[in-house]
Amino acid sequence: EQFIEDVRAGRGERLSGDSEVFSGLVWSGEQALALGLVDELASLEQVARARIGEAEWENYTPRLDPFERLTRRFTQAAAEVLGVESARSPLRFQAP
């Protein structure tokens, strides 16, 4: 009951009068928005950009050097020609 009272106090008039709001069900983002449980929907990246700002956003995605990209393409092409799974697949070719 304390949780329900806290949610009602925190959400105020934004909260839907629907009796199922506190049924214990799990709501999708769209459903939670319609019920007044959230104010808006956003991805983790959207929230981070809104909080941090564009100027400070850094991309730490590892980049392959040109030789490594070429090697991977060659390996994938060779695997296709030989009819074996590529190195990216969880299934790997193993010689007897």
The C-alpha atoms of residue 73 and residue 17 are separated, in whole angstroms, by 57
- Compute φ and ψ for 52, nearest 5 degrees: -90, -40
Average pLDDT, the chain: 83
pLDDT over 60 at 88, yes or no: no
* CB of 14 closer than 8 Å to CB of 39: yes
31-75 tens-digit pLDDT:
999 999 999 999 988 888 888 877 777 778 888 899 998 998 998
Can you give the length of the chain in residues? 96
The C-alpha atoms of residue 64 and residue 71 are separated, in whole angstroms, by 10
